Amino acid sequence: MARQRYSGQGYRGYSRVNKKMEKMVATLVIVATVFVLNQMGIDIGGSGSSGSKVKPLKEKSVEQLLDEVKVASPDEYADYDRNSYTEPYKKIEYKGRKYSLRKFAFVTSKHYKDGDYTDPYTGDELSLDDSNFDHIIPLNYVNKHGGAKWSHSKKHQYATDVRVGVDVDGAVNRDKSDKGPSDWLPETNVDDYCYTWLVIAVSYDIPLSPEDVKVIRDHVGSSPKLINPYN
């Protein structure tokens, strides 16, 4: 039988097809890996950008959230290092520019209209310079309620997630500190504030203290909304 011969061009064409197939397989593997890691809640970088694929906060009825939220007393002796949550610092890319978390929260919030921002905790007009980004469930509260055992990736994801915070007056933020609802409530939008605590707690699997759950139950209202609505 005559041996089949291939021209150099034929081999080159075969090689190109092989390389294309290898690239396709590699791309599929990367996509699958990213999907699995995201489902596990692992930050693989870039999660701060406005176009990143993040799971939505679990907005449910008050009854569902109260049924699902975990209740546990805090570990007051849990070591807390804020930098373990916030470092490395990263900016958020939005409409071709890079923003700090505070500025991004300010300009993309529905509390910002026609150039004016209304502080959701006080109802007063607030400038960007006077604002702080407040983690609605504070980082130290999270740390005492299981966060100390989180991976650095999950800590960083929470600390840089614009959906778990809102811009408020700096003095008000300092007054709130790491208090839960049983020790501190805002002057306005109390039902929305309490509802948002539940949504974040269920979404990030953060147990709340029995005292805080009781206050939330007493104040949440029948038709609350997220206090931190972002576009």
pLDDT per position as a tens digit, 141-180: 999 999 999 999 999 999 999 999 999 999 999 999 999 9
C-alpha–C-alpha distance, residues 52 and 29, integer Å: 19
Distances (CA, A) of 168 to 29, 123, 131, 172: 43, 10, 5, 7
User: According to the model, what pLDDT value does residue 53 have?
Assistant: 40
Please name the amino acid found at residue 137: I
Q: Which of 203, 200, 112 is nearest to 164 (CA)?
A: 200
Specify the range with the lowest mean pLDDT, choosing from 9-13, 94-98, 149-153, 199-203.
Answer: 9-13
Q: Domain residues of the chain, as ranges? A: 17-43+54-219
Q: Looking at the predicted structure, is the pLDDT value of residue 54 above 90?
A: no
C-alpha–C-alpha distance, residues 102 and 231, integer Å: 15
User: According to the model, what pLDDT value does residue 82 have?
Assistant: 96
92 Cβ contact list (under 8 Å, min separation 6): 48, 49, 50, 98, 99, 100, 101, 104, 162
Confidence of residue 47 (pLDDT cuts 50, 70, 90): very low
pTM of the model: 0.77
Average confidence (pLDDT) over 35-43: 39
Q: For 148, which DSSP code?
A: G
Q: For 106, which DSSP code?
A: H
Q: Looking at the predicted structure, is the pLDDT value of residue 1 above 80?
A: no
C-alpha–C-alpha distance, residues 128 and 126, integer Å: 7
C-alpha–C-alpha distance, residues 55 and 78, integer Å: 28
The b-or-e profile of 123-155 (16+ CB within 10 A means b, else e) is eeebeeebbbbbbbbbbbbbbbbbbbebeebbb
3-state helix, strand, coil in the chain (%, to 5): 45, 10, 45
Per the listing, tokens 């921002």 go with 117
C-alpha–C-alpha distance, residues 24 and 20, integer Å: 6
